[in-house]
Structure 1
Amino acid sequence: MPDFDVVVIGAGAAGLSVAAISAGLGLKVALIERGRMGGDCLNYGCVPSKALLAAGHAAAEARAAHRYGIRLPEPEIDWAGVRAHVQGAIARIAPTDSVERFTGLGVEVIQASACFTAPDRIEAGGRSLSFRRAVIAAGSSAVVPDLPGLDGVPWLTNETLFGLEEPPGHLIILGGGPIGLEMAQAHARLGCLVTVLEAAPRVAIREDPELVEGLRAALVADGVEFREGVKVTRVEQLEPNSKAAVAGVIAVLEDGSRIAGTHLLLAVGRAPRLAGLDLATAQVEAGPRGIVTGADLRSVSNKRVWAVGDIADPRGIGPRAFTHVASQHAGILVRSMLFRLPFTKVGYAALPRVTYTDPELAQIGLTEAEAREQGHEEVTVQRWTLAENDRAIAEARTEGMVKLVISRSGKLLGAGLLAPRAGEMAGMFGLMIDRGLPLSALAGLVLPYPTLAEAAKRAAGAHYTPKLLSPFTKRLIGLLKRLP
């Protein structure tokens, strides 16, 4: 008789959801976590980053209040107060993810490292635990690049950035993806010098270039300096001198340029946390991208084991490092592992992703380039700029647009948004794509006025305007007007 029905490794978003649901269904559950409950999202990612961004947005709003006829002095940044806000946000959410709460749910929480000692056995905290099912939800961590000189200089990742007791004087960020861009804007708005170094031809390389152009312009206006298409060949220690009162770091570029800063943030990607699990002993196949699973998130080599969240690498689909994907995985796993429902598969056709800058950049489904690459014929693109949206005009925030990618049959393939709080509109498009709703459903939707979401409706309506104003329609109206 196994010790546990389900053993979950990792108390991040995915692991906590699986543990809570499994225990709620009456199963005997163990949850193993070597670090802080809540994982990266609560402690080092989503929550602290959005809290820091909120502080930066408040400072930016104070500086821009003149656009409403309100004159305010330059905001004074109290870094200790900013840190208290960030840590306070974590503290308010932490009880939901706490040991006490999960113990109360009937989960046995083991605060230790875990490693497999057999295909059906895990060692943790000096105990050997046998299981019917194991769920690996160990997550991912920041990639530390093999960069000459890195071992001789101080550097930061998202796990250490929020612990700084003083604001960076000049923050150099390696990587222009979502984390790099969010932290660039937050620190720039809080009074820090910021330089983003990106090896790709442009920042946010996965996103629609038309929307990225607007986002980039907004960050430049905040004072962020971008160096795109550059390769950092090494880093060096910057010793204190008359110009630099504290030690720092120098990034040396391939062309010989030298960029000096006080702090270096590594934001070049994420890697699954596989080390220490001894997956080979468990006969669990894994690669550089994570644990190889089927579309049902079950290990392809050990049928007792499932993987969810950042560490899962479903065949033919690939990993996705988003907290909302972890929650999606948890739901799929419950249907697949606990209810044994067939044909339960993960899919990302309607997956939203958001860069939480200001304005936010959101993408749901396929970009225009992705749609064409995947062979969709006669793709139509409809745009509606915020300069034509009444709410945006009223708030003097007219930068951005809605961009819809539409199939020949009138189905929505993807939506790109650059707008304040664009992420709040993402669910509407995700529902449309997931349920296969025609674009006419959005065009006919009654939305409250005035809202930014009306830009989405107007973009959808513009798709039908040529047909509405066609010669045939005009002739039809000419005939109908004669009716009594």
Structure 2
Amino acid sequence: MNRSKWVLLGLVVLAVVLFFALDLRQYLTLDLFAELYRDNPAETRIIYFVVYVAVTAFSLPGAALMTIVGGAVFGLWMGVLLVSFASTIGATLAFLISRTLLRDWVQKRFGSQLESINQGIEREGAFYLFTLRLIPAIPFFVINLVMGLTPMGWWRFFWVSQLGMLAGTLVYVNAGAQLGLVQELSVQGIMTPGLVISFVLLALFPWCARFALGKARQRTLYRNHPVPKCFDTNMVVIGAGSAGLVSSYIAAAVKARVSLVEKHQMGGDCLNTGCVPSKALIRSARMKHYADQAQHYGLKIPSAEVDFPAVMERVQRVIGTIEPHDSIERFTGLGVDCITGSATIKNPWQVEVNGETITTRSIVIATGARPFVPPIPGLDEVGYLTSDTVWELREQPSRLLVVGGGPIGCELAQAFSRLGSKVIQLDMAARIMPREDEDVSQVVAERFAAEGIEVRVDHKPLQFETDGHSKWLLAEHKGETVRIEFDQLLMAVGRKANTEGFGLENLDVTIRPQGTLEVNDYLQTSYPNIFACGDVAGPYQFTHTASHQAWYATVNALFGRWWKFKVDYSVIPWATFTDPEVARVGLNEMEAREKGLDYEVTRYDISDLDRAIADEEAHGFIKVLTVPGRDRILGVTIVGYHAAELITEYVSAMKHKLGLNKILGTIHIYPTLSESNKFVAGEWKRAHAPQRLLGWVERYHRSLRGD
């Protein structure tokens, strides 16, 4: 920091210290300025103006009070004139102080995180600032300081602030002016019509401003898209995956006319290439594993042979069995107009499908996501599989390289390994399952190693090579280049939202840096009548969260003009279906530390559980995070057999704000795996036993024995 910045910082600190040390706020009163104004009107206006500028420039408390005082002393129009310019000048000075002292450091330290904000400010910063000024939900001094850290120019900040604060200034000054007209300090004196109306306006102003601003923005958004006089349907849903199916089902259930458009297969990724086929494959692999471990159960059976084509055909058979649940016939019977074809959004009110235009009051985008394939040199030459295409295999890979250590990569790596493939799993991170705590990743990695999976972490793929017969990956590991040979390659490094190919380019719909559509708390996109839910919207890409979001998107689309519901992400569970399974809800230790939260950990090892021992599944643990000294649950991680089923009790507990004491007080059937939930609650109770009270009880029992 250069000398000028140190001087400026010193002045700011000195001003704040003097303000509080000398209790200067006591002089920002109606009596003081009223008395000065009677004797020296011109000088009082100047003093008031300078003091107001100083208070706002140094972000000192008292600006709201001074605004009302200005109205009471100077009257409505003079008060508005003085406050309007003084507040804007002071705000601009605060803006410049923040920029001078902090902007370079903040942008250097958090530049990548602020990139999207900076772009937004450059694109529509004036409107964003005007919105904040018009609706005083955030204190103005915070806006002044934060805007100083952005690329917004000072002149734009000045005139937008001047205009944005004018309406609020008028309301506050008018309240002060009406207060100044009160002649008698009594109920009759205070309850004048003008003063009552002023305070009513003061209370209603934020709501009226929000409503007016919303209408103005909506009019601007839709100025090139006139609303049709009538509509073919209430809602068009694009995409028939989990989110789209649930949206359509709810809309039809409440008797709305809804059209569901799908260009590929009903059921989306979950049914056809995701959850259903992967769990079917995992089940076959687990049966093979059980056969290999038969001696642990006192059984002698020949070694089970894997008929790989039959395994993959079974996967397709499972899909076919579930398919009617998501079929066109079923949803047509429910009242949904199912259309097979590619949808194109022409404007906010029109969707074109197969050359025909459908007019609609609202649109729900539920187009899902697809596997992300990074641009690694040589990838196309060696060929690769993804979680979408792996189900086409009918010949088992002898050496399978799985790139990706997340849930999809881990599930498929273990499944193929158990079916007999030699599997190498590679990831750039320091460990597989990097979103989970280290002890969780360690348990899964140790099981993988015990089953013969070669886990290579901290490996960065550089290039793929082939000579027509053999295939290799060149990867960087600890500064050295390593060479990994394989026969088949499975890319499982994440998923990318489907935001292209259905007309969004015709509209100014914002896409987040992560690639998902930007939606607000009500799942609205940039256009209030266009909603998005499921993987295309994020932030969670799970089937159950897609269904969860679909309810909010549909209800808000159909009934939002009367009442809207904010989507609730407070209790979101998920699971990775490896063996052992990993299930979680709420925070883990890593996230709690990142958030700076205090927490306690209670742990129970499932190896002590009778049912787990009987089933030869005595491994894993339950880890519960709670508020220190209390039984309120912050998060739960379960590693073990049927963890995804066991987590449900904690999901319900967190949803309905039940603590560990309630779980401990619930009868659990013996012998079951769910007893482990009771036992971990017992561990917490034992650690928080009232030792002093127990000491008194012990002495009481001694006395009864005559000791």
- Fold shared, TM-score > 0.5 on shorter chain: yes
Question: What is the 5 A alignment of 1:52-451?
Answer: 52-240=281-469, 249-254=471-476, 255-287=480-512, 288-299=514-525, 301-313=526-538, 319-340=539-560, 342=563, 344-377=565-598, 379-408=599-628, 409-451=630-672
* Aligned-partner SS, 1:397: coil
Residue 188 of structure 1 contacts residue 223 of structure 1 at CA under 8 Å; is this kept in 2? yes
Equivalents in 2 of 1:52, 1:263: separation in Å?
Answer: 18
Equivalents in 1 of 2:521, 2:466: separation in Å?
Answer: 47
Residue 386 of structure 1 contacts residue 455 of structure 1 at CA under 8 Å; is this kept in 2? yes
Equivalents in 2 of 1:267, 1:102: separation in Å?
Answer: 32
Structure ranking higher in strand proportion? 1
Aligned CA distance change for structure 1 residues 447 and 339 (closer, same or farther; 3 Å): farther
**Structure 2: gaps (5+ residues):** 1-229
* Aligned-partner SS, 2:518: strand
Could you give the per-residue CA deviations for residues 419-474 of structure 1, whole angstroms, max 9, x where no partner exists? 11100012111111122212211122211111222222111111121343614323
Give the greater-gyration-radius structure (CA): 2
1:14 corresponds to which residue? 243
Residue 251 of structure 1 contacts residue 260 of structure 1 at CA under 8 Å; is this kept in 2? yes
Residue 480 of structure 1: CA displacement?
A: 6.5
Residue 116 of structure 1: CA displacement?
A: 1.3
Q: Which moved more, 1:457-466 or 1:49-58?
A: 457-466
* Aligned-partner SS, 2:389: helix
Equivalents in 2 of 1:343, 1:114: separation in Å?
Answer: 27
Could you give the per-residue CA deviations for residues 298-356 of structure 1, whole angstroms, max 9, x where no partner exists? 11x1011110100114xxxxx11100101111222233223437462223332111010
Residue 348 of structure 2 contacts residue 363 of structure 2 at CA under 8 Å; is this kept in 1? no
| Identical pairs, percent | 37
* Aligned-partner SS, 2:585: strand
> Residue 410 of structure 2 aligns to which amino acid in structure 1?
L
Equivalents in 2 of 1:442, 1:6: separation in Å?
Answer: 43
Residue 529 of structure 2 contacts residue 557 of structure 2 at CA under 8 Å; is this kept in 1? no
Aligned CA distance change for structure 1 residues 273 and 440 (closer, same or farther; 3 Å): same
Aligned residues: 470
Equivalents in 1 of 2:239, 2:471: separation in Å?
Answer: 34
> Residue 665 of structure 2 aligns to which amino acid in structure 1?
G
Residue 477 of structure 1: CA displacement?
A: 4.5
Equivalents in 2 of 1:199, 1:348: separation in Å?
Answer: 29
Equivalents in 2 of 1:471, 1:107: separation in Å?
Answer: 65
Residue 516 of structure 2 contacts residue 536 of structure 2 at CA under 8 Å; is this kept in 1? yes
Residue 19 of structure 1: CA displacement?
A: 0.7
* Aligned-partner SS, 1:293: coil
Equivalents in 1 of 2:545, 2:326: separation in Å?
Answer: 18
Could you give the per-residue CA deviations for residues 106-164 of structure 1, whole angstroms, max 9, x where no partner exists? 22222111221112211121112211010000000000101011122211111110110
Could you give the per-residue CA deviations for residues 173-217 of structure 1, whole angstroms, max 9, x where no partner exists? 110100000000100000011111100110000011112211111
Residue 238 of structure 1: CA displacement?
A: 4.8
> Residue 390 of structure 1 aligns to which amino acid in structure 2?
D
Aligned CA distance change for structure 1 residues 120 and 283 (closer, same or farther; 3 Å): farther
Q: Which protein has greater RCO, CA pairs closer than 8 Å, 6+ apart?
A: 1
Equivalents in 2 of 1:73, 1:350: separation in Å?
Answer: 46
Residue 348 of structure 1 contacts residue 365 of structure 1 at CA under 8 Å; is this kept in 2? no
Equivalents in 1 of 2:352, 2:382: separation in Å?
Answer: 36
> Residue 298 of structure 1 aligns to which amino acid in structure 2?
Q
**Structure 1: gaps (5+ residues):** 241-247, 314-318
* Aligned-partner SS, 1:291: coil
Equivalents in 1 of 2:235, 2:651: separation in Å?
Answer: 32
Equivalents in 2 of 1:161, 1:24: separation in Å?
Answer: 37
Equivalents in 2 of 1:13, 1:249: separation in Å?
Answer: 37
1:475 corresponds to which residue? 696
Equivalents in 2 of 1:424, 1:434: separation in Å?
Answer: 16
Residue 361 of structure 1 contacts residue 419 of structure 1 at CA under 8 Å; is this kept in 2? yes
Residue 279 of structure 1 contacts residue 285 of structure 1 at CA under 8 Å; is this kept in 2? no
> Residue 392 of structure 1 aligns to which amino acid in structure 2?
A
Residue 297 of structure 1 contacts residue 307 of structure 1 at CA under 8 Å; is this kept in 2? yes
* Aligned-partner SS, 2:278: helix
Residue 289 of structure 1: CA displacement?
A: 2.8
Residue 230 of structure 1: CA displacement?
A: 0.6
Equivalents in 2 of 1:407, 1:65: separation in Å?
Answer: 44
2:271 corresponds to which residue? 42
Residue 237 of structure 1: CA displacement?
A: 2.2
Residue 234 of structure 2 contacts residue 558 of structure 2 at CA under 8 Å; is this kept in 1? no
Residue 18 of structure 1: CA displacement?
A: 0.7
Equivalents in 2 of 1:369, 1:109: separation in Å?
Answer: 45
Residue 60 of structure 1: CA displacement?
A: 0.2
Equivalents in 1 of 2:552, 2:661: separation in Å?
Answer: 30
* Aligned-partner SS, 1:257: strand
Residue 214 of structure 1 contacts residue 399 of structure 1 at CA under 8 Å; is this kept in 2? no
**Which among 51, 58, 65 is matched to residue 280 of structure 2?**
51
Residue 249 of structure 1 contacts residue 264 of structure 1 at CA under 8 Å; is this kept in 2? no
* Aligned-partner SS, 1:428: helix
Residue 198 of structure 1 contacts residue 231 of structure 1 at CA under 8 Å; is this kept in 2? yes
Question: What is the 5 A alignment of 1:15-30?
Answer: 15-30=244-259
2:194 corresponds to which residue? none
Equivalents in 2 of 1:103, 1:283: separation in Å?
Answer: 33
Equivalents in 2 of 1:310, 1:349: separation in Å?
Answer: 18
Could you give the per-residue CA deviations for residues 27-73 of structure 1, whole angstroms, max 9, x where no partner exists? 11111111111000000000000000000000000111111221222
